[in-house]
Amino acid sequence: MSETITRRDMLKASAAAAAGVAGAAALDTLCPSNADAGSPLRLREAMFYEKAGRQRVTCGICPRKCTVDPGERGHCGSRENRAGKYYTLVYGSAAALNIDPIEKKPLFHFLPGSTALSIGAAGCNMDCRDCQNWEISQAKPEEIDSRDLPPDTAVGLAKRYQCKSIAYTYSEPVTFYEYMHDTAEAGQQAGVRSVMISNGYINRDPMTKVAKVLDAIKVDWKGTTEEFYKKYCGATLQPVLDTMNRVKDLGKWLEVVYLVVPTLNDSEKNIRMMARWIKRYLGADTPVHFSRFHPDYQLRNLPPTPYATLERCHDVACEQGLHFVYLGNVPGHKYESTYCPKCGANVVERWGFQVKTVNLKDGKCPKCGHAIPGVWS
């Protein structure tokens, strides 16, 4: 890593991140390329796999439980069987690197106004047709430019730029699990927190293990039916519900995002069902973000989500008793801010990814004293 990165460089990287650029500009600035080195695969023996006979292995990271022959890879493309040993190919390999506002993840009840060093690697264990980072999530590690960024170096970079956390994001951190785990562990020892930005498609034991070194988790809930997950994500719903329950049981801060896709998952019935489930199993204080869809990847035929649809989702969720319901990708909307559920006071005012004011006193509403759940310091 270069030692000549200036504050001006950092501000350029931050500006790129604020503009939503998940790649080249900030990657080049924060972790300059060694042009002669190319983009070699970064191997490390994988966690959570079993021998399956005849040099085959069965992966235990996610619900797919891929059984992989020698010389082949799992569904995510980032794990390979080499002579009966399973390897991650992206350990310490950053395909995307930015300094982001934590609000971009989005996490609204976790250190508002702070920045996160955001890292992504190639691969994903879902095939979402609306993916907005498909260039890295649907790519093989050797197909995209990546930089060497081992765990200790990533933590040092976060501290250097005064990022309070490291976010594992952009693609799916389940597929670069070992890299995430070891970086979060190193960060924990150095006083840098870690957040997992995930689709929640992960098995019990890996989730339990990595949760020990994480401080917050955001789960993307794609749709409310198995049919939706099968058709538009190439996956299944129940493991995602199980993960959210597990995160709650483990006592980790959890926020949920629901991308509202017009005509596909935006019915009032679906939103009501989702809100009821969250209240029953995760609690009424769990923050829920309804995000605006923009046409991308394989769903370019659909329009952006109308504001009226998002507002209806907000109202339905609130009617079901959820206390903290937000709208995403709608800069300047009043439902970006946090309001006290008891007296209605605006306790965290936002505009897009920018936090304008934090009106909390020891995590409580200064007007009525009601406790606002979250990680505030």
User: 56-94: per-residue pLDDT in tens?
Assistant: 999 999 999 999 999 999 999 999 999 999 999 999 999
pLDDT tens profile 193-209? 999 999 999 999 999 99
Structural domain includes residue 372: yes
Contacts of 7 (CB under 8 A, 6+ apart): none
Number of other CB atoms surrounding residue 332 within 10 Å? 8
- Domain-embedded: residue 375: yes
Give every CB contact of residue 220 below 8 A, 6+ residues apart in sequence. 198, 199, 200, 257, 258, 259
Q: What angle do CA 101, 102, 107 make, to 5 degrees?
A: 145
Q: Print the domain residue range for 369.
A: 337-377
Domain-located, residue 345: yes
Label residue 173 by pLDDT band (50, 70, 90): very high
d(CA 49, CA 65): 9
Domain count, the chain: 1
In a domain, 358, yes or no: yes
Q: Is the pTM of this model over 0.85?
A: yes
CA atoms within 13 A on the CB side of 113: 11
Query: 276-310: per-residue pLDDT in tens?
Result: 999 999 999 999 999 999 999 999 999 999 999 99
371 inside domain = yes
Euclidean distance between CA atoms 18 and 229, whole angstroms: 30
Q: H or E element: which one contains 335?
A: none
Evaluate whether residue 347 is within a structural domain: yes
- 2 occurs within a structural domain: no
Q: Which pair of tokens denotes residue 138?
A: 């649907």
Domain presence at residue 312: no
pLDDT higher than threshold 60 for residue 36: no
The H-or-E segment that residue 120 falls in is: strand 115-120
Read off the pLDDT of residues 237-285 as tens digits, 9 standing for 90 and up: 999 999 999 999 999 999 999 999 999 999 999 999 999 999 999 999 9
